Structure 1
Amino acid sequence: MRPAIEFSPCDLEYFAEDETITIVPNFSLPTFSQSTIPCIGGSYGPFRPNIEVEVPFWLAIAFHKRKSCRIKPPAWLATDRLQGILDEEKSTAAVFQPVPFHYLEIAKVLFAEAKDCFGADMLKIKELVEDICKVRMSKICAGLQVLQGPMTVKLNNLSAMECNIVRPFFQGSLAQFQALAGTPSQPQL
């Protein structure tokens, strides 16, 4: 049997760094380089002062650490949007609300590295993200406690961190089911 794939929170943060985010640069590149930065994942730019541009999250954080840009928080990190998600999560026990796949990782990094992009609402936003996470985790735990016997499980709209938490449970359950059924875990050639 293959070992279970497990990712650490740091691994998931690394994967989240490929998501795109909007920045407002305060610099421009010389015209001979066409104002873009060529990278393995593509070319990013043009970079002109006070003109928004979409870049990978890792590049936004690198520019922000050098004080070369202002990061615009994603629209889903607005207080009213998060409050709506939290209210919906609390009102529907069997359904997970759609959230960005890496919402926890992106929020965590922004809270740590780019506090200034939130302004006065940062504490409220941080509290809402934590509350959403707690409600979703309690839904997952409640759902796993009622599982018995063979059945189909539908878990739509889980985030990367939430998938990572339930993965070992399902992999262990499937391995146990295979052992009980007497079927080999690896196909024989």
Structure 2
Amino acid sequence: MDWCEFLAEDELIEIIPLFKYNKQLNLISGDFGPFRPSIPIKVPVWLAFNLQRQNKCTICVPDWIQELPQLQEQQEADSERLVPMPDDQWRELLKLLEQEFQSSVNCSELIERREAILRLSAHQLFRVAKHKEQLFIGDVTLNNATKAELQSVKPLIQKCFQYLQQLRTTLADSQHNKQLSQM
């Protein structure tokens, strides 16, 4: 499990309890309860999964999952920017729900298209001049990118900054050598 999935387990999800507990659960992430049969309540994903495994609740599938086909169409229509997603941790929640219920929602095209836009944006951020050893840092905005999506382009951005540092070091060395040769 990666860091983003771990954080997504604290997202709130609606459940329908099958038990009665009149007190509140005082947890680090907040207070939850009281729990009454057939009355929906929002709890963290990790608690919902634990209660569901003990047959003490039914997990309500988030409404935004039904919107994914429309979001995929919007993303296909707008190939230059990321469309807003219904939840900041939508990919991680989908993965967690798929693991829990052994069923999947087909949104691979949406994920691939969003990752392609992110990679293109990262490439536009760092442009190398053709004839000179210069690296230009462009102005790119990554609106509507989630934490996991930014995590996916992190290695590319790190490599670009390493290359920039190498260019700066080489430039400083050449300027230093030039000054020494002029003396």
TM-score by length of 1: 0.76
Q: SS state of the match for residue 137, structure 2?
A: coil
8 Å CA contact 2:88, 2:146 repeated in 1: yes
RMSD of aligned alpha carbons = 2.2
Name the aligned partner's letter for residue 130 of structure 1: S
| Aligned match of 1:5 | none
Q: Residues 28-63 of structure 1: CA distance to partner in whole angstroms, max 9, x if unpaired? A: 11x4xx2x2111222111100000101111111111
Q: Does 1:52 align with 2:40?
A: yes
8 Å CA contact 1:71, 1:114 repeated in 2: no
| Aligned match of 2:14 | 22
Gaps of 5+ in 1: 1-8, 116-121, 184-189
Counting aligned pairs with the same residue, the percent is: 27
| Aligned match of 1:156 | 143
Larger Rg: 1 or 2? 2
8 Å CA contact 2:121, 2:142 repeated in 1: no
Alignment of 1:1-189 (within 5 A): 9-29=1-21, 31=22, 34=23, 36-78=24-66, 81-99=67-85, 100-114=87-101, 126-127=105-106, 129-146=107-124, 147-148=126-127, 149-182=136-169
* Distance of 1:28 and 1:10 partners within structure 2: 34
Stretch deviating more after TM superposition (135-144 or 97-106): 135-144
Name the aligned partner's letter for residue 100 of structure 2: E
Name the aligned partner's letter for residue 43 of structure 2: V
* Distance of 1:68 and 1:114 partners within structure 2: 16
Q: SS state of the match for residue 18, structure 1?
A: coil
Q: SS state of the match for residue 2, structure 2?
A: helix
* Distance of 2:163 and 2:112 partners within structure 1: 29
Name the aligned partner's letter for residue 9 of structure 2: E
